[in-house]
Amino acid sequence: MTPPPELRALGRWTTRPRIPGSCLGVAVAFLHVHLSHTIPETGRTPLSGLMLCALALFIGVGYARDSRALRTLFALGEGRLPATPQHLLVAVQEVAAIPGRSFWFVMQGWLGGTLLVALSFPSLAHVPWTESLRLTALGLSIGPLSAMLVYLMVVRRARATLDRLVSLGLAPLEVLAALPPLRMHIRRRLVMFTAIAVLSPSLFILDVAFTRTVAVVDAWAQATTPSERAAVMARAREGGGPPLGLIAGVVTLLILGTAALGGTALSEPLRAITEDATRIARGEVRPPRVIHAEDEVWATSAAFTQMQVQLVQALSQLRRAGLQIASTTEQLVATSTEQEAGADEQAGALNATSATTEELARSAQQIADNAESVSAIAETTFGAAQSGQRGATAFLGAMQRMKEDNEAIADAVVRLNKRVQQIGKVVEFINEIADKSDLLALNAELEGTKAGEVGRGFSLVAAEMRRLAENVIRSTKEIEGLIGEIRDATNGAVMATEAGLKTTELGTLLAAQVDDSLGLILELARQTSHAVRSISLATLQQQTGTDQLAAAMGDILRVTEQNAAATKQMVAANADLSALAADLQDVVQRFHVEPAPGSEPPPAPGSPAATGGA
């Protein structure tokens, strides 16, 4: 796996300032030892050797600690891990923590080295143990200054390393999430830096002044003559000049350099934030970048980066929204114009509909009144149908009784016809007897005539019998005529009775049909009455509904008129919105958003992506 060129030897480059910073501190201590005349001549060489050994040990341990503290960065640089966002974020966290670790490692190294040298020096150089205390004070005075210098130098390299890691494809928000601004120690660091800047030269001056004062006092005490004492004072003035000034100058330059690095460490991110803010104020919005810093400045930088990300997103959204608002506003204006015309037409149609609804309400009132009249007529028809059914039932009973009477009459006429036939037979028999009596009376009269006077009485009787027979014959003929007439009348009565019977049967059938029809009419009249009553109720409900419809149509008409007025207001509002969209586009176009490397440029105005088209 080939590592990216940006990551090769990046870990060593980041922590390399620790070596020159520590060496500079050791050089100041070495210069102090050899120029201050506070260390005996016999102890300077062993002390220098101990200092060089401690420095070599410190550098070796530092390499091992760097490999552990930046293990992910070293693995990325050596190609043992792929440069994935997860590994890069872990490396970012390691690099962000390395300045603080370097500061404390240098402090620990100076403390450990100072104790090692202070404890070994008296036995090697055969000097008093009080020299160990002076060496400890010397190490404690130079160590914090060297650690502060190393910290500031590593901070600048760590920021450059972080920029290189972020440039490999990490998003600003991912870096901010991996490095949350939690620590706020800038005041503590400034206090510490001030204390180091003040105490380090003070300890140097105090050590040199105390040592020289003690030496001068001892020499003054050992001198017995004024000339010896004058020589001591002269040596003191000659020995405290250039070496002491040189050491003070070196320490001052070291402090000024550290102060310059501290000011640069504070000003660089602030200057970068100011430049980005100035460009944003001019309307030039570049892709958000992470401006690395520490403590409160890092919190400010993180907040500014988040603001940039949100500003870019907001400007992109505003640009798209402006285009969409402009397009939508044009459509709204056209639609509102159409709606305004449609609202006018709808208002006219609703006016006509309202008038029609009122006419319908009046018609419904008339229908309700007519339905009540029809209901009364249906009730009357139902009562008449009931009466007709009762009359038809009575008529059917009368026809049945008439039929029975006709049948009885027919039977009586038949019996009468039979009796008349019997009477006719009797009359025929009497007529035969009369004929025979007439013939006998004629014979008897003839015989009486023949007998003379004797037979005259018999002749008279015979003549009377003959007249009687003739009368009987005439009577029987009349009776026969009457019997014929009676027979004819009886036959006519029989025929009339049969016809009446047939008519009565037909009348009975018709009366039954009439009764059935009247029953059907009664049922239909009952259904009609119920239907008319239902129609009347429905008509009343329809009248109520029609009245409500008329009222609702009135309300709809009022709402439509209000909608028409609102549509006109919406047309005016859309015109204002169109002007506002134009102003919004003008405002957004003041900001020129540069696309991020590798990202697609924003859609051009009027393109399908800008207008939301497919």
**What's the pLDDT score for residue 453?**
72
Answer yes or no: do 260 and 326 share one domain.
Answer: no
Is residue 580's pLDDT more than 80? no
Q: Any idea which residue has 């440029």 for tokens?
A: 601
CA distance readout (Å), 502 to 72, 406, 481, 507, 515? 131, 9, 30, 8, 19
Do 510 and 382 fall within a single domain?
Answer: yes
Residue position matching structure tokens 């505003």? 318
Same domain (yes/no): 289, 323: no
> Can you tell me which residue has the tokens 């430049």?
275
Last residue of a domain, one of 258, 293, 328: 293
Taking 70 as the threshold, does the pLDDT of residue 542 lie above it?
no
- pLDDT tens, residue by residue, 126-140: 777 777 777 777 777
User: Which pLDDT value is given to residue 588?
Assistant: 60
Output the pLDDT for position 2.
60
Torsion of CA 204, 210, 212, 215, to 10 degrees: -150
Higher pLDDT, 261 or 357: 261
392 and 275 within one domain: no
Q: Which residues contact 125 (CB under 8 A, 6 or more apart)?
A: 40, 42, 43, 46, 47, 131
- Pick from 151-165, 293-307, 582-596: least confident: 582-596
302 three-class SS: helix
Same domain, 272 and 336: no
What pLDDT sits at residue 610?
37
| pLDDT of 452 above 50 | yes
- The whole-angstrom separation of Cα 133 and Cα 480 is 197
Q: Which residues pair with 285 in a beta bridge?
A: 593
CATH code: domain of residue 483? 1.10.287.950
Is there a domain that residue 243 lies in? yes
Residue 390's pLDDT is 74
* pLDDT tens digits along 99-112: 888 888 988 888 88
- Residue 603 resides in a domain: no
Instruction: State how far the Cα of 70 lies from the Cα of 459, in Å rounded to an integer.
Output: 196
Q: Using the Cα atoms of residue 599, residue 603, residue 607 and residue 613 in order, give the sign of their dihedral.
A: positive
Same domain, 367 and 482: yes
For 365-431, give the DSSP string. Answer: HHHHHHHHHHHHHHHHHHHHHHHHHHHHHHHHHHHHHHHHHHHHHHHHHHHHHHHHHHHHHHHHHHH
Give me the pLDDT at residue 383, please. Answer: 75
Q: What is the mean pLDDT of residues 81-87?
A: 88
Helix (H, G, I), strand (E, B) or coil at 293: coil
Amino acid at 189: R
The Cα 294–Cα 292 span in angstroms is 7
Residue count (the chain): 614
Contact 166, 92 (CB under 8 A): yes
pLDDT band at 298 (very low <50, low <70, confident <90, very high): confident
* 30: CB partners within 8 A, 6+ apart: 48, 51
The residue ranking higher by pLDDT, 596 or 315, is 315
Q: Which two tokens stand for residue 145?
A: 């200054």
Phi, psi of 593 (to 5 degrees): -85, 115
Q: Which residue has the higher pLDDT, 79 or 244?
A: 79
For 404, residues 6+ apart whose C-beta sits below 8 A from its C-beta are: none
- Residue 9 and residue 135 in one domain: yes
pTM for the whole structure: 0.55
* Residue 123 within a domain: yes
Please give the structure tokens belonging to residue 433.
């007897």
Domain presence at residue 107: yes
CA diameter of the chain: 265
Residue 302 included in any domain: no
Angstrom distances, CA of residue 162 to CA of 47, 275, 276, 501, 585: 40, 20, 19, 134, 37
> Same domain for 253 and 387?
no
List the Cα angle 517/523/524 in 5-degree steps: 85
Query: Is 507 within a domain?
Result: yes
Confidence of residue 38 (pLDDT cuts 50, 70, 90): low
Does the structure show a pLDDT above 70 at 611?
A: no
Beta bridge partners of 284: 592
Spatial contact of 387 and 541, defined as CB atoms under 8 Å apart: no
Domain holding 474, by residue range, is: 319-593
Output the 3-class SS for 170-224. Answer: CCHHHHHHHCCCCCCCHHHHHHHHHHHHHHHHHHHHHHHHHHHHHHHHHHHHHCC
Contact 320, 609 (CB under 8 A): no
Tell me the pLDDT tens digit for each residue of 195-234. 777 777 677 667 666 666 766 777 777 777 888 778 877 7
489 contacts 416 by C-beta, under 8 angstroms: no
Q: Assign residue 292 a region (left: φ > 0; alpha: ψ between -120 and 50; beta: otherwise).
A: beta
Separation between Cα atoms, residue 103 and residue 146, nearest integer Å = 9
Q: Kindly give the pairing relationship between strand 284-285 and strand 592-593.
A: parallel
pLDDT of res. 603: 46
The kind and range of the H/E element at 592 are strand 592-593
Question: Are 101 and 37 members of one domain?
Answer: yes
Element (H or E) spanning 285, and its range?
strand 284-285
Does residue 245 sit in the same domain as residue 335?
A: no
Of 293, 328, 350, the position where a domain reaches its end is 293
Give helix then strand counts, H and E, for the chain: 13, 2
Report helix angle 18-35 to 130-166, nearest 10: 160
Going by C-beta distance under 8 Å and a sequence separation of 6 or more, which residues neighbour residue 143?
A: 25, 106, 107, 110, 111, 114
pLDDT-derived band at 308 (thresholds 50, 70, 90) equals confident
Is 190 a residue whose pLDDT tops 60? yes
Residue 59 maps to a domain: yes
Answer whether residue 25 is part of any domain.
Answer: yes
Note the helical H segments in 126-185: 130-166, 172-178
pLDDT of 606 reads 42
Instruction: Find the helix or strand (DSSP H, E) in which 541 lies.
Output: helix 453-589
Closest CA to 176 of 4, 305, 88, 56: 305
Give the pLDDT band (50/70/90) at residue 241. very low
pLDDT of residue 566: 66
For the chain, what is the domain count?
A: 2
Q: What is the mean pLDDT of the chain?
A: 75
53: number of Cβ within 10 Å = 14
pLDDT surpasses 70 at 553: no
Is 266 found in the same domain as 355? Answer: no
According to DSSP, the residues that pair with 537 across neighbouring strands are none
Residue 318 DSSP label: H
pLDDT at residue number 286: 78
Please state which of the ranges 47-51, 279-283, 404-408 shows the lowest mean pLDDT: 404-408
Q: Give yes or no: residues 269 and 370 share one domain.
A: no
Range in 8-12, 45-49, 327-331, 555-559 the model is least confident about: 555-559
Position 269 confidence tier, pLDDT thresholds 50, 70, 90: confident
Cα distances (angstroms) measured from residue 24 to each of 383, 390, 408, 411: 134, 142, 165, 168
